Amino acid sequence: MKTSTLSRECGSYVAANLFHESQPHTKANTLPAVTISRQTGARGAAICEMLLQKLQASQAKDVAQWRLYDRDLVNKILRDHHLPEELARFMPDSAVSEYEATVNELLGRHPSLWTLYEDSVDTIQRLARQGHCIIVGRGGNHITRAMSHVLRVCIVGSRHNRLRHIVNREQLTPKQTDAILKKEDQARRSYVRQHYNTDVDNPNDYDLVLNTDHLSNEAVVEIITHAIKSSR
Lowest pLDDT segment from 3-7, 48-52, 113-117, 189-193: 3-7
pLDDT higher than threshold 50 for residue 23? no
Averaged confidence pLDDT in the chain? 79
pLDDT higher than threshold 50 for residue 35? yes
What pLDDT, on a 0 to 100 scale, did the predictor assign at position 88? 73
Mean pLDDT on 190-212: 91
pLDDT higher than threshold 60 for residue 41? yes
Could you write out the DSSP letters of every residue in 130-179?
H-SEEEESTTHHHHTTT-TTEEEEEEE--HHHHHHHHHHHH---HHHHHH
Mean pLDDT on 141-161: 94
pLDDT higher than threshold 60 for residue 13? no
State pTM to two decimals.
0.78
CATH code of 5-230, in short, is 3.40.50.300
What pLDDT, on a 0 to 100 scale, did the predictor assign at position 82? 82
Residue ranges of domains in the chain: 5-230
The 10s digit of each residue's pLDDT in 118-140 is 888 989 999 999 899 999 988 99
Closest CA to 34 of 211, 208, 207, 153: 153
What pLDDT, on a 0 to 100 scale, did the predictor assign at position 106? 44
